[in-house]
Amino acid sequence: MADSPETDDDTLGSVHEREALRRIFPRLPESSVTVIGPGDDAAVLAAPDGRYVVTTDMMVHGPDFRWGWSAPYDLGWKAAATNLSDIAAMGAVPTALVVAIAAPATTRVTELEAIADGLREACAELAPGCGVVGGDLSVSATFTIAVTAFGDLEGRAPVLRSGARPGDVVAVSGPLGAAGVGLRLLFEAGVDAQGRPSPERAAELRRDHAEVVLAQLRPHPPISDGPLAARAGATAMLDLSDGLALDARRVAEASGVAIDIDSSALGADPLAALASGEDHSLLAVFAPGTELPGGFRHIGSVVEGTGVLVDGRPYDELGGWDPYVGWDGRSG
């Protein structure tokens, strides 16, 4: 089968796993910490710090993405970006990814190649030196991509959610609310009788509302600002994957404090900034008087109490992203 001419119509069912992997692996990014890469039963990575930060995340067709909106390249980019952001939120430098894909047998190999291109270019732009060191390919009726990411703390202590103290400064690096606005526009574009989104309308939205739609489909989290925050002495940090208010509450609960957010620092649409998920920006807390590093900007403060406040008043309308609730607000 490997000697057969390649065509754009080749599917996983027609070429089988070995040939698909032969075509995909050369497109994947290499890791700067690889000792032994793909080809054996497992990769071997260098661990200069003696410790590794590890995270994993899945994207499942339906609850997490939809082909009518996302191109394969988008999916590869977002799968990398969301995991890189979690590593950065610990103050670590991303070093390696392991990628597993379960796809219908009718999936074209060129679609997997485009996913590999998205993975490669996301790593090159967001986390140079990070690469794919292995993974798995299987068959499933529902397309699923799972990524495990590794990071190097470079001798620093990890930045946890539990270190915020009253008087500390709350800051954000990256956009707030853009991905949620983009998702709402995509969903409002409508679906057909089978519940499938319209790729034609999605293409129009990508053209006419590129900034917010691409913030949803192809996020650009500020990966380098995670280690910068750690070097600046950040006392707490996390990735804003589920929404500012919801994620700020997680820091508040872990630290035994309240987070008071200044609505005037949230831009023209504070509600979208508070309630929208999937921005994958970084929320960090710093000691008073710290010069904020990188792209971080002041949005609030840590105070005595519990939960989230907005302009000093309790804020309970947390909103945010929940994979167990459909994009139309219904469970499932």
Q: Is 72 left (phi over 0), alpha (psi -120 to 50) or beta?
A: alpha
Give yes or no for residue 330 having a pLDDT over 90: no
Note the pLDDT of residue 211: 95
Class (C level, CATH) for 12-152: alpha beta
Is it the case that residue 273 has pLDDT exceeding 60? yes
Mean pLDDT of 53-59: 96
pLDDT at position 325 over 90: no
Is 23 strand, coil or helix? helix
Spacing of C-alpha 97 from chain mean position: 13
In the predicted model, is pLDDT for residue 331 greater than 60? no
Mean pLDDT over 57-86 rounds to 94
Residue ranges for the known binding site for substrate are 64, 278, 321
Token readout for 274 is 């508070």
pTM for the predicted model, two decimal places: 0.90
As a whole-number percent, the residues of the chain with pLDDT over 90 amount to: 73
Asked if the model's pLDDT at residue 58 lies above 50, the reply is yes
Length of the chain as a residue count: 332
Q: How confident is the model at residue 129 (pLDDT cuts 50, 70, 90)?
A: very high
User: Residue 135 carries which DSSP code?
Assistant: E
Mean pLDDT of the region 249-266: 97
Reading the block at residue 316, the tokens are 């309970």
Distance CA(243)–CA(60), nearest Å, equals 20
The mean pLDDT value for 258-284 works out to 94
DSSP tag of 263? G
Quick one: average pLDDT of 250-270? 96
What pLDDT is recorded for position 21? 84
Q: Which residues contact 260 (CB under 8 A, 6 or more apart)?
A: 170, 300, 301, 302, 303, 309, 310, 311, 312
Distance CA 96, CA 78 (A): 16
Segment 300-305 mean pLDDT? 98
Over the stretch 229-244, which tens digit does the pLDDT of each residue have?
Answer: 999 999 999 999 999 9
pLDDT of residue 328: 44
Say yes or no to pLDDT of 300 above 70: yes
Q: pLDDT tens across 174-183, in order?
A: 999 999 999 9
pLDDT exceeds cutoff 80 at 195? no
pLDDT at residue 329 tops 50: no
List of long-range contacts for 64-70, beta carbons under 8 Å, 24+ apart: 64/323, 66/196, 66/197, 67/143, 67/199, 68/191, 68/196, 68/197, 68/198, 68/199, 68/202, 69/186, 69/197, 69/199, 69/202, 69/217, 70/217
Does the domain spanning 160-332 belong to CATH 3.90.650.10? yes
Within this chain, domains 12-152 and 160-332 share the same CATH topology: no
pLDDT digits 0-9 by tens, 139-174: 999 999 999 999 999 999 999 999 999 999 999 999
Q: What is the mean pLDDT of residues 204-232?
A: 96
Kindly report the average pLDDT of the chain as a whole number. Answer: 91
What is the structure's pLDDT at 221? 98
User: For 9-18, what is the mean pLDDT?
Assistant: 85
Q: Is the pLDDT of residue 108 over 80?
A: yes
Residues 6+ apart with CB under 8 A from 26: none
- Whole-angstrom Cα distance, residue 124 to residue 131? 9
Domain ranges within the chain, ordered by starting residue: 12-152, 160-332
Predicted confidence (pLDDT) at residue 20 exceeds the cutoff of 50 = yes
What are the binding residues for ATP? 135-136, 161, 241
Binding site members: 41, 55-57, 64, 86, 135-136, 161, 239, 241-242, 278, 321
- What's the rounded mean pLDDT across residues 44-55? 93
Q: What is the mean pLDDT of residues 277-288?
A: 96
Q: What's the burial of 163, exposed, middle or buried (CB within 10 Å: 0-12/13-18/19+)?
A: middle
Per-residue confidence at 1, pLDDT binned at 50, 70, 90? very low
pLDDT band at 16 (very low <50, low <70, confident <90, very high): confident
- Average pLDDT estimate for 263-275: 93
